[in-house]
Amino acid sequence: MDYVLVLKNGIGNKVFALVYFLHTYPHVRLHVVDSTSHHNDEKVKTFFKHIPVHWISWKDYDSMKQHTPELKVPYSVYYDTSGFTSKMKKIFQTPKLSYDFQKGIFVHVRYGDKFEMNYFALKNRQTPKYILLKPSYYETHIQMLLDKKEGPVYIFSDDPTIARCLLKPDYVFVHASGYETFSCFQHAKRVILSESTLSTAAVLLGKDKKDLIVPDFLRMPPDFRIVPSPYFTNGVRDTSYILSTKSEYDEILKQCK
């Protein structure tokens, strides 16, 4: 049986979708369109060479959709971890890059487009859609891991201007592609995550972690209420780390822009 699948949004969401459908439909042939996202021209098909799908163009899609059923991707797919098996870890394995993966602390600081969308929502008295974390979340837990063992602190962020502004200057601020970010969080032993499907998928498909600090909450569609994270257990449950008011966003903009 053949199906068409369109991958949308960022790298993390695309990986979640692929893992879900490859696990759920192991005996079908998937014809997949890898659409452009906020990760610019980075394509999942160039990251992972061994994914057992048939990559197609939009032109192919227009032709195939006339006679081939299309798999829809409900939002629940991005919160489903049932497919992150040892088999998927092999399929999505990436090569190690030149970092200290034993002692290094890898920190994912997610602001970027989510910051802008949350700020817009708060200005219009709406519920924000995403969990963004205060600088204190990162600084507190970086220091916690440094107290256990010294090592370089690598900061990966989709908004390096804000990250550099809010965090200590003696960290290593990495200018990395989405692929490099994924690979680093897949192989690192000591990790501090934001609420992001990119770094979350990398950790779920990666090596066992010695130190793993994650937020134990997210905003769940359709009403975007704060609920426990479906990804990990024993995460950070202190919701005071969440950026939640317009004034908190205003303060960051005043300080960093």
- Euclidean distance between the first and the last CA atom of the chain, given in angstroms as a whole number: 52
Whether 96 is in a domain gets the answer: no
Beta-carbon contacts of 222 under 8 Å, excluding residues fewer than 6 positions away, are 75
**Bridge pairing between strands 225-228 and 217-220:** antiparallel
Whether 97 is in a domain gets the answer: no
Let me know whether 68 and 194 are in one domain: no
Please report which helix (H) or strand (E) contains residue 6, including its range: strand 2-7
The pLDDT value recorded for residue 40 is: 56
* 246-251 long-range contacts, CB within 8 A, separation 24+: 246/119, 246/122, 246/123, 248/134, 249/115, 249/118, 249/119, 249/122
Let me know whether 159 and 53 are in one domain: no
Whether 98 is in a domain gets the answer: no
Let me know whether 179 and 137 are in one domain: yes
Let me know whether 176 and 73 are in one domain: no
Q: What φ, ψ does residue 229 adopt, rounded to 5°?
A: -65, 135
Given 37, 60, 91, the domain boundary residue is: 91
What's the total number of domains in the chain?
2
The pLDDT value recorded for residue 47 is: 85
Q: Please state the pTM of the whole predicted model.
A: 0.92
Residue owning tokens 């602190």: 153
Let me know whether 126 and 223 are in one domain: yes
Return the structure tokens found at 180. Answer: 């490099």
DSSP single-letter state for residue 108: E
Helix pair 11-24, 197-204: axis angle to 10 deg: 40
Given 58, 91, 124, the domain boundary residue is: 91
Let me know whether 118 and 212 are in one domain: yes
Asked if 37 and 10 count as a contact pair (C-beta separation under 8 A), the reply is: yes
* Rounded mean pLDDT, 74-89: 96
Let me know whether 66 and 18 are in one domain: yes
The pLDDT value recorded for residue 233 is: 86
* Rounded mean pLDDT, 88-110: 94
Whether 31 is in a domain gets the answer: yes
pLDDT digits (tens, 9 = 90+) for 204-246: 999 888 999 999 999 999 999 999 999 998 899 999 999 999 9
Whether 235 is in a domain gets the answer: yes
Whether 172 is in a domain gets the answer: yes
Asked if 145 and 211 count as a contact pair (C-beta separation under 8 A), the reply is: yes
The pLDDT value recorded for residue 208 is: 82
Q: Among candidates 87, 97, 100, 66, which has minimal Cα distance to 179?
A: 97
Read off the amino acid at residue 8: K
Whether 150 is in a domain gets the answer: yes
Asked if 241 and 133 count as a contact pair (C-beta separation under 8 A), the reply is: yes
Residue owning tokens 């200005």: 123
Let me know whether 80 and 160 are in one domain: no
Q: Among candidates 239, 10, 248, 16, which has minimal Cα distance to 115?
A: 248
Given 59, 91, 123, the domain boundary residue is: 91
- Among 43-57, 78-92, 95-109, 146-160, which stretch is predicted with the lowest mean pLDDT? 43-57
Let me know whether 64 and 149 are in one domain: no
Asked if 101 and 188 count as a contact pair (C-beta separation under 8 A), the reply is: yes
**Cα–Cα distance for residue pair 10/216, rounded to 1 Å:** 22
Whether 174 is in a domain gets the answer: yes
Let me know whether 84 and 112 are in one domain: no
Let me know whether 128 and 73 are in one domain: no
Let me know whether 9 and 78 are in one domain: yes
Range of the domain at 79: 2-91
